[in-house]
Amino acid sequence: MKKYFLSYKNAVSAALQYRLNLGLLVISHILSLSGIMYLWISVYESGEHLGTYSLPDLVLYYVLLTLLLMLVSEGVGLGFDVCEQINQGEISNYLLKPFSFSIENCLKLFAKVSINAIFLSPVIAILLLLFGAYTELPNTAGWIAFSGMTVVAALFYYLIYYFAALSSFWMINGRPIVYMFLIFSNLLNGNSLPLDLFPEWFAPVNRYSPFQFLLYVPIQIFLGRMELDARLLATAAVWILIFVLIIKLAWTRGIKKFEAVGR
């Protein structure tokens, strides 16, 4: 365990060296959020309505969406990094050391998430003060549930995009597969629209999709529109187990192919 703690510590130190990147990321997301807010405010001012969402709820939905993207979506970049490591043969170093490549990458992701959380905490505090006057914020149980599902969201970002990146064992470059997963996740994680606004026939897909845990579920729990019940926890647990097993299988077979071609 000590070696992995040291690995996490080193990853935190490395992440701190790229604070400018986080600053630029925050600016780009704020600009994107501003455009979305202008659109929906114009829609509501014209007398239109979006499902059962009030304007403050919808604004808060997209603010939370933006914060979560900045906080937990590091798994996307990790997926592209793993593709590069496999293609360049850099994972050979891990085969000679008593380190798990998968665990180390997971620790790197959570190190970045930790740094993001620290730097975003003042922004979050200010937003809570602003929105507290217009909408009801979660109680203590709601905050605990939201925090827990935010950690789960980061884990799903890691599992989904790490699995996609392992396609590089069988392809010249696995980046297109990572992009494909990114397109699907942006459709099914609530990034474009809240999933409860999709057609009724699409509800079963949303209800049991792993992508809902990336953004939609934590946001809905914060808004009080979803409860952290046994079905939701069971769905998350089953998908985590499935991804762990298929990642283990893909890694085992991929490494055999990797060693066979001498990369």
* Number of domains within the chain: 1
Other CB atoms within 10 A of residue 190 CB: 27
| AA identity, residue 84 | E
For residue 260, the model assigns a pLDDT of 47
Burial 139-156 (b: 16+ CB within 10 A, else e): eeebeebbeebbebbbbb
Backbone angles phi, psi at 53, to 5 degrees: -85, 125
- pLDDT recorded at residue 46: 83
Residue 91, C-beta contacts closer than 8 angstroms, at least 6 positions apart: 85, 101, 258
Bridge partners, 74 (sequence order): none
- In the numeric block, the tokens 């990853």 are attached to 11
Q: What are the tens digits of pLDDT across the range 206-215? A: 889 999 999 9
The share of the chain scoring above pLDDT 90, in percent, equals 34
| Residue recorded with tokens 């130190």 | 13
DSSP 194: -
- Summarize pLDDT for 37-74 with one digit per residue, the tens: 888 888 888 877 777 888 888 888 988 998 898 889 88
* Rounded Cα distance, 186 and 192, in Å: 7
Quick check: helix, strand or coil at residue 53?
Answer: strand
3-state secondary structure of 189: coil
What CA–CA distance (Å, rounded) separates 66 from 78? 19
User: pTM value?
Assistant: 0.88
pLDDT for position 255: 87
State CA 56 to chain mean position distance. 24
Highest mean pLDDT among 56-70, 95-109, 142-156, 181-195: 142-156
Residue 219 has pLDDT above 90, yes or no: yes
The DSSP call for residue 190 is S
Which is more confident, 30 or 102? 102
Q: Which helix (H) or strand (E) holds 131?
A: helix 101-131
- The residue range of the domain holding 242 is 2-260
